[in-house]
Amino acid sequence: MLVSRVRKSLSKLYVQVLIGIIAGILLGHFYPDIGSQLKPLGDLFIKLIRMLLAPIIFASVVVGIARMNNLHEAGRVGVKAVLYFEVASTIALLVGMVVVNVFKPGSGMNIDPAHIDGSAISTYTTAAKQHGMLDFFMSIVPNSIVGAFANGEILPIIFFSLLLAISLAKLGPRTAPFVDMLDMFLQGMFGIVRIVMYVAPIGAFGGMAFTIAKYGIGTLASFGQLMLCLYLTSIFFVVVVLGFVMRMCGLSLFKYLRYIKDEILITLGTASTEAVLPQMLIKMERMGCSRPVVGMVLPTGYTFNADGTAIYLTMAALFIAQAMNVNLTIWDQLLVLGVLLLTSKGSAGVAGAGFVALAATLASMHKIPVEGLVLLLGVDRFLNEARAVTNLIGNGVATVVVARWEGQLDMDTARAVLDRRGGGDDDGFAPLDHPEAAPAMTAQTAVRPNAH
């Protein structure tokens, strides 16, 4: 009996990923020479997922919108999503600013800017200069569709997908065979995701072993107060702010977190939300959110709705100021917040986006030395895990909010799934055309009266 229970527990994805994370931490700490060589394991898993992102996002958006009866609905969904993103990001920035002012994690470090070598951050400062708001908006329109797909550029892919979906919807029923073909292609992509997820524990193991081996437990102790502030602030934001939002939607945040526990652990182990985007698309649709809403809100949220990154940006900027004894008035801090609202979007899609946004903000302020970014290099990977998990949860909640706002969330299905009465595999990867996925499929075609 005990053996069968253990075997059943070990077959669950989140248990395997958790074991991988713990094993990676132990190996990286006690055998750093070996752990430092395991980075390719984490990178390989993320590459496997990234190769699927472009086709999955493309097919999800096109199929969902092309099957809409009213194109005005797509416009409403987009506007409501952006509105929610901006409100959520602003609250996250404010929460981060309040916490860093109360606990002052950088006070007492007394860092002299003249003694800092800024060459280590030259890559980020150069990228910051090249990614302002104008560059960001120009980058939405790709030079080539093939290039956008080849490079995995999410925003240009979404932009092209929206145009194609609107065009197909206007052409009417004669495009149905093509849309059906894309739908079958999408199911095939989700099948590949299911296969790839078997190596998720190995990816989490390799990523965590490399992180601990390279930066060491000692790094955590040196910047312990900053890390503690960021993690506790992220938890506060998720539990209090997002918990309140979910309660307003009539759902339980903690049941939702249990529902996406696999994705949370994978994101924690790999420090990448991209690694779980395909699974999140599946799970949000199975939960009762309509396919058009999921296809538009979730991928777009990866660019516009980075709650965890917003918390990190304000805390990191003010931490550097405190560490270098730069006195900032309340108006200076509000100016930092206002600039971050812009730069956090302008750096979207750039490698090391958080650092790029921070560099762009500090450079535009001319008050906090940009060289202070060097202070965060050693601990950034650990900070990235907290902001990645917060981003993941925030984007899922954003999808629920917009679906509920639009009346395209099947509340009966959502409650059944979150209460584990909705059927389907415990890991949530049953194909969408599988009988177990029927509740979510029902939500695509009909909205229950209590969904408003």
Asked if residue 237 belongs to a domain, the reply is yes
Q: What is the mean pLDDT of residues 67-89?
A: 81
For 270, the domain range is: 14-69+78-451
Domain count, the chain: 1
Most confident of 212-216, 259-263, 269-273: 259-263
Domain membership of residue 211 (yes or no) is yes
Residue 5 lies in a domain: no
Q: Is residue 1 domain-resident? A: no
User: Has residue 256 been placed in a domain?
Assistant: yes
pLDDT for 121 beyond 80: no
The residue type found at 275 is: A
pTM score of the predicted model: 0.78
Which tokens go with 38? 């395991």
Number of CB atoms found within 10 A of residue 449's CB: 7
Q: For residue 438, what pLDDT band results from cuts at 50, 70 and 90?
A: very low
232 located within any domain: yes
Q: CA-to-CA distance for 46 and 41, rounded, in angstroms?
A: 9
Quick check: 360 pLDDT over 60?
Answer: yes
**pLDDT number for residue 237:** 95
Q: What are the backbone angles phi and psi of residue 409, rounded to the nearest 5°?
A: -120, 115
Tell me the pLDDT band of 348, cut-offs 50, 70 and 90: very low
3-state secondary structure of 256: helix
pLDDT, tens only, 368-422: 877 777 777 767 777 888 888 999 999 999 999 999 998 889 999 999 999 986 5
Q: Note the pLDDT of residue 89.
A: 87
Q: What is the distance between the alpha carbons of residues 401 and 86, in angstroms, rounded to a whole number?
A: 13
Q: What is the pLDDT of residue 208?
A: 83
CATH number of residue 181's parent domain: 1.10.3860.10
Domain annotation covers residue 235? yes
Residue among 264, 353, 342, 337 nearest 302 (CA): 353
Query: 289 in a domain, yes or no?
Result: yes
Mean pLDDT, rounded, of the chain = 79
- 122 vs 59, higher pLDDT: 59
